[in-house]
Chain A
């Protein structure tokens, strides 16, 4: 490719986003913004009980056509997610509850009216008789002998139990030191600012069900709806509008989505459901809740020798579709060793069915939990051997000289310098100066610094997902690129834009190959009628997979542009290059419009030998090695803890990250900051508590604290750019990484601050109460307190 204008708009440019203009004028179009004649709104009656038999469901006969029970949804199959992993137990997730409810918020009846308020009034017309059953509110409760069974046919409450052992017993027996920790993460709710929403209608002309749904995975939703509704996929068009954040919440087929689609397919009219915040808080509390029990063994310098772990995931009542109920535990077990060299590893995981909403993959999928656990282990080892935590961390990290490196759980780390990022973060946060200063500030608050290092497996490919037993395995992502008659470029990809800026970054990649000015590149995403297949936007895969596909398709079209331009310029194609928004051969040039016009409108100018595939191409892509490309980072945080109130203030937050080639550094930073903000929510604020009857205790944003501008620091960030040897342009994914490290870094910093008190917090969110409790527990004996959670 010839050079001019490359950096300004192509890969590496801080290009302004194409998405911005509409949103800055309130002209974005979300599901709730669509106006359609005859549109009816849907409200769901949801279960008030966590676990109960349904004895009766009644509505007055007048309401047979606006109140629906499961019995009315003729032909609708439950959501069933199979897994090829042996021993995995399959749940039947009904679209509307049949004979039993298994979590508070489970849809029981569906009411429709001309507006939502009236639909909610209709809920009052429904009577449901319940016979309450004992509820399973925790992993321990679910695994107890003779506990109530959510799915009696299973015989227990385990979706899956896994066991991995590389052989640790001998090493354990001779290890110089060991630490033992119990740690846990609270249940969380993801909170995209736009809740889930779906509008479905019947297009008589196309004889198609059209579904405008707020989703990350439109092509998968088409497959899922076809399965549940018994409609051919060709008769379903999923056309997602703007999506107000996803974070994993919108990569699932939801029962409400199926129910609304059924209404439209049955009554041939438009129907819509928009999730409100209370529904999200109650029926969408579906993430992060892990429990860890880890014994780690090391030498006297703190070098890891073996890890022996038990992980339980509070998986909820059913499996989500298509990610199964064991993805979380599988990822936890596989990712726990983190960026470290580890020779011996044993891990048992339990995916426990509980009376809570079905567990879903939230930004980072298991890794915020495993990073939180593993990084505390590193700090505990450091404390035990009397060294600085960052030094022990550095000594255990996989060194750059070992890349590419395959770890004990068969993760193939492709490239990078993990220790260098750690050292850079240590310098950014100013550890040496901090250690030379006072341990308490002028307000008497305890000061601490904490680190967390991690890898972010991104764009995990076919092999990886197949090994997790998923029913749908991603393969080649596809993209379509086309030059228009007037010389603009149209890019279409089946992945969807959910705020991550793909309309801009995919255009930058297309520009890189074709040099068509960015403003003349138009990107269409997600609509199954207008885009080639993509499995969707999840697992930090968009820019690697769809970006790779766009790159290939644009490269093909660029070659065809050059061929036609060469003919118009009467030179050989090899003599043609792109520059200054035109196509040159020596000093002569033609415009993209000249080329487009020649192909579409003046074919009389073209030779007989012209490529009849024209100025468009669809290409598929996956990286050469498809086990995922690994971004990595170290987060470092300096904070103050008020021992009286338990309040934490973040004083400084530094991130050193490497996601390979950055297509748009501005967007990389935005993803990292936004992820870190959510991670800080996990670390300090966010919790969906449940009582012993599995009743949710947070139903407003005053109960559930989302971090606001005053809770978050001004992040500082530094980039490294180690290209992946396996992906197009060396790009790695970066969507999730920011969210992974904060719980670990912050809890390590809190525990560093509290070390003079000999106190340690082992749970997130590290709320003021938990911090005060930790201090109180440590107080009776200032010596080592051997209770759960403290290094022994």
Chain B
């Protein structure tokens, strides 16, 4: 067992966790924050996306023990968040959810896109969203809802929750996604299996290409 202290949805948490316990299981089990959903546990579908130290992160491939000192926000932590409120409204208006299982992760990614990039075109928006899978909607309502909230909005410059402002786009989608897997500024090593499962879009493309 390892003792970890972290902030979850604004509250301080100290807990003993097994080395193998994943952040998602910790949140859903110990913390009973079941809004973080587990769709694949392979780091692909994005249903488990949470905000970890200002960046969106897949909690299904993040060890809880690695999160000592981290600030974690789950869907439940966004109840009073103004951007999330706009997104919730737009998601409902545009029928951006059906079964609702991917929705918490989808909203968490959507909020990150809207705040970090502001008003972007649909192609870029779809790229940014490509780490989250929805099986019900065909993404039509999701894309429309995010577009609505993003329209006319400027990127938030160096937001409190997003520490890195170096030109991640220039480094390409894949690199950006790789970096998102690691809690920032701690220099922790990336697990080999994390490397394999970080970027479904890139993986999809490479697989398509070499079939």
Contact = CB atoms under 8 A, between A and B. Distances in A.
Interface in B1-29: 18, 20-21, 25, 28-29
Interface in A753-771: 767-770
Interface stretch (B30-38, B157-165, B179-187): B30-38
A700 B139 contact: no
Contacts of B35: 25-28
A647 interface: yes
Given A16-B93, A33-B34, A714-B122, A498 B204 contact: no
B200 interface: yes
A243 B99 contact: yes
B138 A245 contact: no
B31 to A, nearest CB: 11
A316 interface: no
- Which of B25, B41, B44 lies at the interface centre, i.e. has the most chain A CB atoms within 10 A of its CB? B44
Interface in B25-77: 25, 28-29, 32-42, 44-45, 47, 74-76
Contacts of B41: 276-277
B88 A25 contact: yes
Interface stretch (A3-11, A434-442, A701-709): A701-709
A30 B35 CA distance: 10
Given A25-B76, A193-B101, A20 B91 contact: yes
Interface residues of A, number: 67
A197 to B, nearest CB: 10
A633 to B, nearest CB: 15
B115 interface: no
Contacts of B137: 670, 673-674, 677
Contact of A499 (B44, B104, B136, B209): B136
B25, B40, B107, B203 — most chain A CB neighbours (10 Å): B40
A499 B142 contact: no
Interface string A448-472: 0000000000000000000000000
Report the interface size class on chain B: 35 or more
A23 B103 contact: yes
A245 B35 CA distance: 16
A677 B139 contact: yes
A762 B95 CA distance: 35
Contact of B130 (A22, A194, A278, A710): A710
Give chain B's interface secondary structure class.
loop
A352 to B, nearest CB: 27
Nearest to B131: A708
B207 A705 contact: yes
Contacts of B207: 702-703, 705
Contacts of A242: 99-100
Interface in A9-43: 16-17, 19-30, 32-33, 35
B176 to A, nearest CB: 15
A19 B32 CA distance: 21
Contacts of B171: none
Contacts of B204: 685, 702, 705, 708, 711
A685 B107 CA distance: 26
Nearest to A24: B88
Contacts of B153: none
B155 interface: no
Contact of A20 (B97, B132, B200, B211): B97
B84 to A, nearest CB: 9
Contacts, number: 204
Contact of A23 (B20, B100, B209): B100
A244 B100 contact: yes
Interface string B174-200: 000000000000000000000011001
Given A17-B95, A708-B200, A192 B135 contact: yes
Contacts of B104: 23, 26
A230 to B, nearest CB: 34
Interface in B89-138: 91-93, 95, 97-104, 107, 122, 125-127, 129-130, 132-138
A736 interface: no
Given A20-B91, A35-B32, A767-B208, A244 B99 contact: yes
B101 A28 contact: yes
A24 B145 CA distance: 13
A690 interface: no
A675 B98 CA distance: 12
Given A24-B88, A701-B44, A710 B126 contact: yes
Contacts of B21: 117
B75 to A, nearest CB: 3
Contacts of A500: 98
Say whether chain A's binding surface is mostly helix, strand, loop, or mixed.
loop
A676 interface: yes
Contacts of B201: 708, 710
Contact of B42 (A25, A28, A700): A700
Given A32-B34, A115-B29, A244-B100, A702 B203 contact: yes
Residue of A27, A194, A245, A709 with highest tally of chain B CB at under 10 A: A709
B111 to A, nearest CB: 12
Contact of B100 (A28, A676, A708): A28
Contacts of B74: 26
B34 A26 contact: yes
Contacts of A702: 42, 44, 196-197, 200, 203-204, 207
Contacts of B79: 25
A194 B39 contact: yes
Contacts of A669: 95, 140
Contacts of A647: 208-209
A428 interface: no
A733 interface: no
Nearest to B98: A499
Given A26-B36, A646-B211, A709 B98 contact: no
A644 to B, nearest CB: 10
Contacts of B42: 277-278, 700-702
B207 to A, nearest CB: 7
Nearest to A115: B29
Interface string A643-680: 00111000000000000000000110110011111100
Contacts of B197: 700, 702
Contact of B98 (A276, A674, A712): A674
A515 B163 CA distance: 53
Contacts of A767: 208, 211
Nearest to A35: B32
A121 B78 CA distance: 36
A738 B143 CA distance: 19
A740 to B, nearest CB: 14
A501 interface: yes
Which interface residue of B21, B25, B45 has the most chain A CB atoms within 10 A?
A: B45
Contact of A277 (B40, B142, B211): B40
A247 interface: yes
5 contacts: A24-B103, A115-B29, A194-B37, A709-B132, A714-B140
Which 4 A-B residue pairs are closest in the complex by CB-CB distance?
A: A26-B35, A23-B100, A499-B99, A244-B101
Given A19-B97, A26-B104, A714-B143, 16 more contacts: A23-B104, A24-B107, A26-B36, A26-B74, A26-B75, A32-B28, A115-B25, A193-B37, A242-B99, A244-B37, A647-B209, A673-B141, A677-B137, A701-B42, A702-B207, A708-B129
